[in-house]
Structure 1
Amino acid sequence: MTPLVPHWIRRKVILPVAAAAVLGGANIPPLWSAVTQWQHERLINSANYKELHGFWQVVELPKGQRVNAIHAALLPSGKILLIAGSGNDRAQFDAGTFKTLVFDPASGATKFVPTPTDLFCAGHTFLPDGKLLVAGGTLRYELLEPAVKRAGGTMTVKNESPDGDRSFPKGTTFVATDGKRYIANDDFVVPSATKTEIKGRNGGHTSVTVTAGQTAVWVDAAEDGTGHVRTGHAQYHLDGLTGVDAQNIYGIADKIDLEKQDYQGRKETYEFNPFTEQYERVADMHEKRWYPTLTGLPDGSVLAVSGLDGSGEVVDGTQNEVYDPKTKQWTVRRDLDRYFPTYPALFQTDRAGVLFYSGSNAGYGPADKGRDPGFWNLADNSFEAVPGLRDADLLETSMSTWAGPVQDQTVMVVGGGGVGESSKSSRRIDIIKLNEASPRFQRGPDLPEGTRYPNLVQLPDDTVLITNGSSNYRGRNGSDNHTARIYHPDSNTLTVAADPHVGRNYHSAAVLLPDGRVLTVGSDPLFRDKKNTISGTFEQRLEIYTPPYLFRGSGPVIGEGPTTVRYGQQATFTTLLPDNVRSARLIRPSAATHMLNTDQRSVALDVEAGAGSVTVTVPSSPALMPPGPYMLFLVDKNGVPSQARWVQVG
């Protein structure tokens, strides 16, 4: 079967006649180059090549419909949500221009969605009802030291009154004893003080202890220059407060200076409704987060960890919090005290209450803290490190995913680089089976070159596509890899996939489509040339990969069947050739950004052929498959998948 290619994504192919006409007066080296290019084009367009290696097609949306795709999620409608926010563009941020695009890969249709705040570098995961939870984002862009004109720092605001929380708007002014003024860059709420009564022994005097409530907010000096720099502990009063309020509520800062000011996170949270295609505001997180990880748990709740806070510091582990989709509220879980660098790869294992941290992360945080992979037990907050991972100092900008069905409990860690702007990169693919008696990483096949920023996509035939990435930091020195491989978990081997046309590094993503193809988006290189002299531009072209299995004939067709499947129960779907169905998989849709896509997981179903139908049995454990939308794929004996059918698991 030759997959149908929508008219809007056909890619140009150099024809021999056109090449000869253009090259009539050319000298030998250009002629040789053009002929070689034509031969390459003919090869990759041949049926034999496609059946072995697959095929890539570049997609260029109309100029007015392009975005800097920082985040990509496959919605239960089959459409793709591309979130840019400000798109790593300070001019867009300063202008308050934030973008979200809904793209239909079946028709090519696009639609901009009103974006309420800067969701650039937020976290996300799917909820049980199919909505996408999006939390955090960018409150402030970084300023390097030479660009810092106004002193800034963290103001701790205290409230010694037990008579209720107090809210203050962005722009609230704190005044020093010498009259210098400092302005809050965001709204903030100061909790009320708490009273604790301590009764005396044998009916003695009862004493009352009052503990002030407190919060933190970033402040900037009201004027430029060194005159507003503060280097010592000092107290500030809030402009406009008088009387008892002025005594009870005040600010304290240890330093306000002109040093580098890092990115700062937001606390706003939204549910994106895939059916109305609108953001719906829910309760704010308790902590601001930029680069957080959101992990769906078996009961449908969501755990949020890490990210940069409102001062540009990595969120402390005591501020991990859980979202309840029923109440749409966040609860701080101080019992889950665990520190991670930003965008840590956390996987829900087949044991409820146990997460696996592969060590993959996106970068912010010290090199010697929170980098070791292991099991995190949420019941008692214990952490069990696992050994054996190669290049353990090159986990930043690596990516991890399940390899094969989630029942196998096998996680792979691919590529990565050194901390920060290191030029180091790893060729590593290491594998760990989480359900072994003493889990440890084992060596897998190496990539052909060092790879930072790889993207991994689980396919319906149980293989994993590895694509995108560069061998140097953000594609420096023209280091985009332009290669792809397919990992086979059953044999622990790699096979060659067709080379993508578009190089992709930082801020790229890849997602599985319902027809079994893969969409890749994004890339944010520092430079466009090998000498690093021309500033890079964000890659707005998309590219779609058609895997080899779609060139092997027609796959199964799923007919009538339920739209909801339940844990431990059976479901029957009609199909024309049930005896030809080899396997059935439920694949959770991707929500990808920054080498992070822990939402994706493939669940193997027991399948039994009937008369014009197949009956599948759904696993009974929500830990294996957290509730929410899944794509049902039937795969035939040639490894060809069906078009997916959306079902709700719960």
Structure 2
Amino acid sequence: QGAGCTTFAQIATPTGTSFSDTGLVASTSYSYQVRAADAAGNLSAYSAVASATTSNTPPGLGQWSAVMNWPIVAVHAHLLPTGDVLAWSDYLNNGGAQIWRPATNTFTSTSFSLVNLFCAGHAYMADGRLLITGGIVGSQDDLGPRESTIFSPLTETWSQGGLMAMGRYYPTTTTLPDGRLLVQGGTTTCGSCIADIPEIYDPVSNSWTQLASTARMAFKYYPHTFVLPDGRVLVAGQDDKAISSQVLDLTTQAWTTVDSTVLDGHSSAMYLPGKIIKAGTATVDNEGLPSAATTYVLDMTQPSPAWQATSPMAFPRSYLNLTILPDGQVLATGGGTTTDLRNFSTAVYEAEMWSPTTKTWTTMSRAQIPRLYHSTALLLPDARVLVAGGGRNGCVHPCPVPSPGDESNAEIFSPPYLFNGPRPAISSAPTTIQYSTSFSVATPDAARIASVSLIALGSVTHSFNENQRFVPLTFEPGSGSLNVHSPSSAYTAPPGPYMLFLVDNNGVPSVAAMMSVLAR
């Protein structure tokens, strides 16, 4: 039913579970009803009416959804292997944890009582469970608990992990190639003390081992940590201030300075194995200063790696999020033109897209909601990007009422590639793969597939996605299928849950197939 109509007209009889209505008029409201038919042709009753208004944004700039109300401010957000999204805010009485189900746009509360997970670290284990490290003790910032917590997506239940040697508030958790997990940084139960010795979690024994004193390094808030293709661990910055880049050799348990240049940058991502992008301004210890639009790249596959400046963003940003897309581009969302946590007049609403080929940014369409500190962004299996949260900056525990600027809502960005033609389809794919093998992906679009990639499920907070990883795969097209080569090494793709995307020769991605890369 289009604008001005009072009756419905049948427009299609889809044979699948989805349908695209094309040729609509911009800035026009449309209403839809559906009903099901069985094999005998018997029809169900009509569904409730669903309405939507088309955008007037040019498809080349991407498109934002309507704002969706959420029961919490999504300070922490995680794409689950089920395709749902787990999120939580700050304190236990502010909505607890919620599971958002995109298929129905509904929420399920899954409140926990083991530890306060505000400002914790998190990453996925090889078996798809989420390991959460630290959080906050009581009402005092900088007091980090020793507890670790586990969320099981298949049962949607919580359990206690092992106790760390040091409490941690604002730590980073990283999945290692052997299936263990590394935690670094954060502040301890003494408040101003930094948890300066990394620890490794063994999921088999549910226990932690502290590294040697040679691995001591005083990363305070959310060190931006990446596993390199040679198995070493890179720290390419942190949340609160600019630092030089360091590499940890887990065999010798010693650090080496990669580049002594002290670079700013509030968000970073590994856009290809061993290649890092870093953009914007680190902030927490320097509120009220102008943000930067600077962008740097670091290629750790080179003999003498060093940060290189590339074209800046169109807008200076602090508190931005960087999200890797199925075509290898990187999306910047949110942020502000100053480092002030609470000055919402500085918010940047436009998204920007970074090309790893040209190393330049392209400005996208505008969101409706300011997303500053405590905002999050996640790639969804349908290749759109969920952008949520922001706020919870000035509350006092237990934060009984919302603070100004709390964004208990979300928007979804559809990148331009979703307007470039029909999407390739994955008919079937394995749910598990092993290293250095080949596997078959059934697709009716095999002849037009240009690239295949794995993207690790996102686990994001404080402008850094601790689990995000892009792994391109080689393949050969066949008749109705692709022969895809799995990653050769766990250094390139640590074990755990991933999304498999196909991208066609028009740059259009498929809906992802969920699969796990098994530990050796």
Coarse TM-score class (shorter-chain normalised): 0.7 to 0.9
**Aligned counterpart, 1:140:** 138
Aligned counterpart in structure 1 of residue 147 of structure 2, from 253, 265, 268 = 268
Is 1:593 the counterpart of 2:458? The answer is no
Is 1:102 the counterpart of 2:112? The answer is no
Separation in structure 2 between the aligned mates of residue 556 and residue 132 of structure 1, nearest angstrom: 30
Aligned counterpart in structure 1 of residue 64 of structure 2, from 48, 56, 65 = 56
**Aligned counterpart, 2:428:** 560
Task: State whether residues 376 and 460 of structure 2, in contact with CA within 8 Å, keep that contact through their aligned partners in structure 1.
Answer: yes
Aligned counterpart in structure 2 of residue 522 of structure 1, from 385, 389, 399 = 389
Is 1:333 the counterpart of 2:211? The answer is yes
**Aligned counterpart, 2:416:** 548
Deviation of 1:421 (Å): 2.1
Q: For 1:31-430, list aligned pairs within 5 A.
A: 45-46=55-56, 49-61=57-69, 66-86=71-91, 92=93, 99-116=96-113, 117-142=115-140, 262-318=141-197, 320-335=198-213, 336-352=215-231, 354-359=232-237, 361-363=238-240, 371-387=243-259, 392=262, 394-395=264-265, 398-403=266-271, 405-406=272-273, 409-417=274-282, 419-430=285-296
* Bigger shift: residues 505-514 or 475-484: 475-484
Separation in structure 2 between the aligned mates of residue 477 and residue 119 of structure 1, nearest angstrom: 26
Give the direction of change, closer, same or farther, for the CA distance of 1:468–1:477 in structure 2 (3 Å limit): closer
Separation in structure 1 between the aligned mates of residue 91 and residue 27 of structure 2, nearest angstrom: 35
**Aligned counterpart, 2:336:** 470
Match of 2:219, as an amino acid? F
Secondary structure at the aligned position of 2:194 is classed as: coil
Match of 2:516, as an amino acid? Q
Match of 2:368, as an amino acid? H
Match of 1:84, as an amino acid? S
**Aligned counterpart, 2:406:** 538
Secondary structure at the aligned position of 1:646 is classed as: strand
Separation in structure 1 between the aligned mates of residue 408 and residue 183 of structure 2, nearest angstrom: 29
Task: State whether residues 140 and 265 of structure 1, in contact with CA within 8 Å, keep that contact through their aligned partners in structure 2.
Answer: no
Give the direction of change, closer, same or farther, for the CA distance of 1:574–1:106 in structure 2 (3 Å limit): same
Give the direction of change, closer, same or farther, for the CA distance of 1:75–1:128 in structure 2 (3 Å limit): same
Superimposed CA distance per residue, residues 407-459 of structure 1 (whole angstroms, 9 cap, x where no aligned partner): xx210110014533242321111111111111111111111232101101000
Give the length in aligned residue pairs: 464
Superimposed CA distance per residue, residues 54-108 of structure 1 (whole angstroms, 9 cap, x where no aligned partner): 10013323xxx61121100000000000122417xxxx4xxxx660000012220
Aligned counterpart in structure 2 of residue 501 of structure 1, from 365, 368, 371 = 368
Give the direction of change, closer, same or farther, for the CA distance of 1:631–1:393 in structure 2 (3 Å limit): closer
Match of 1:45, as an amino acid? S
Secondary structure at the aligned position of 1:331 is classed as: strand
Deviation of 1:537 (Å): 3.1
Separation in structure 2 between the aligned mates of residue 636 and residue 599 of structure 1, nearest angstrom: 26
Give the direction of change, closer, same or farther, for the CA distance of 1:289–1:635 in structure 2 (3 Å limit): same
Give the direction of change, closer, same or farther, for the CA distance of 1:50–1:477 in structure 2 (3 Å limit): closer
Separation in structure 2 between the aligned mates of residue 560 and residue 343 of structure 1, nearest angstrom: 38
Superimposed CA distance per residue, residues 290-321 of structure 1 (whole angstroms, 9 cap, x where no aligned partner): 11111110001011111111111243423x21
Aligned counterpart in structure 1 of residue 445 of structure 2, from 564, 573, 577 = 577
Give the direction of change, closer, same or farther, for the CA distance of 1:14–1:642 in structure 2 (3 Å limit): closer
Aligned counterpart in structure 1 of residue 380 of structure 2, from 507, 510, 513 = 513
Secondary structure at the aligned position of 1:313 is classed as: coil
Task: State whether residues 279 and 294 of structure 2, in contact with CA within 8 Å, keep that contact through their aligned partners in structure 1.
Answer: yes
Deviation of 1:388 (Å): 7.8
Deviation of 1:4 (Å): 7.2
Aligned counterpart in structure 1 of residue 346 of structure 2, from 456, 462, 479 = 479
Give the direction of change, closer, same or farther, for the CA distance of 1:503–1:525 in structure 2 (3 Å limit): farther
Match of 2:505, as an amino acid? K
Separation in structure 1 between the aligned mates of residue 161 and residue 315 of structure 2, nearest angstrom: 44
> Greater share of helix residues, 1 or 2?
1
Task: State whether residues 401 and 413 of structure 1, in contact with CA within 8 Å, keep that contact through their aligned partners in structure 2.
Answer: yes
Q: For 1:565-644, list aligned pairs within 5 A.
A: 565-644=433-512
Secondary structure at the aligned position of 1:386 is classed as: strand
Task: State whether residues 563 and 646 of structure 1, in contact with CA within 8 Å, keep that contact through their aligned partners in structure 2.
Answer: yes
Give the direction of change, closer, same or farther, for the CA distance of 1:535–1:337 in structure 2 (3 Å limit): closer
Superimposed CA distance per residue, residues 569-618 of structure 1 (whole angstroms, 9 cap, x where no aligned partner): 00001111211111100110100000111311111111111121111001
Task: State whether residues 283 and 328 of structure 1, in contact with CA within 8 Å, keep that contact through their aligned partners in structure 2.
Answer: yes
Match of 1:385, as an amino acid? T
Separation in structure 1 between the aligned mates of residue 200 and residue 505 of structure 2, nearest angstrom: 43
Secondary structure at the aligned position of 1:633 is classed as: strand
Separation in structure 1 between the aligned mates of residue 183 and residue 481 of structure 2, nearest angstrom: 41
Give the direction of change, closer, same or farther, for the CA distance of 1:496–1:560 in structure 2 (3 Å limit): same
Match of 1:416, as an amino acid? T
Q: TM-score, normalised by structure 1?
A: 0.68
Separation in structure 1 between the aligned mates of residue 412 and residue 96 of structure 2, nearest angstrom: 22
Separation in structure 2 between the aligned mates of residue 393 and residue 438 of structure 1, nearest angstrom: 17
Separation in structure 2 between the aligned mates of residue 344 and residue 542 of structure 1, nearest angstrom: 26
**Aligned counterpart, 1:258:** none
RMSD over aligned CA atoms reads: 2.5
Q: TM-score, normalised by structure 2?
A: 0.84
Task: State whether residues 312 and 360 of structure 2, in contact with CA within 8 Å, keep that contact through their aligned partners in structure 1.
Answer: no
Report the structure number with the largest CA radius of gyration. 1
Secondary structure at the aligned position of 1:474 is classed as: coil
Task: State whether residues 187 and 195 of structure 2, in contact with CA within 8 Å, keep that contact through their aligned partners in structure 1.
Answer: no
Task: State whether residues 468 and 483 of structure 1, in contact with CA within 8 Å, keep that contact through their aligned partners in structure 2.
Answer: yes
Task: State whether residues 77 and 460 of structure 2, in contact with CA within 8 Å, keep that contact through their aligned partners in structure 1.
Answer: yes
Deviation of 1:323 (Å): 0.4
Task: State whether residues 388 and 442 of structure 1, in contact with CA within 8 Å, keep that contact through their aligned partners in structure 2.
Answer: no
Deviation of 1:51 (Å): 2.5
Match of 2:389, as an amino acid? G
Give the direction of change, closer, same or farther, for the CA distance of 1:267–1:5 in structure 2 (3 Å limit): farther
Match of 1:362, as an amino acid? D
Separation in structure 2 between the aligned mates of residue 136 and residue 76 of structure 1, nearest angstrom: 23
Uncovered stretches (5+) of structure 1, i.e. residues with no partner? 7-11, 16-41, 143-261, 528-533
The alignment-based identity, stated in percent, is 31
Task: State whether residues 72 and 409 of structure 2, in contact with CA within 8 Å, keep that contact through their aligned partners in structure 1.
Answer: no
Separation in structure 2 between the aligned mates of residue 617 and residue 263 of structure 1, nearest angstrom: 45
Separation in structure 2 between the aligned mates of residue 309 and residue 474 of structure 1, nearest angstrom: 24
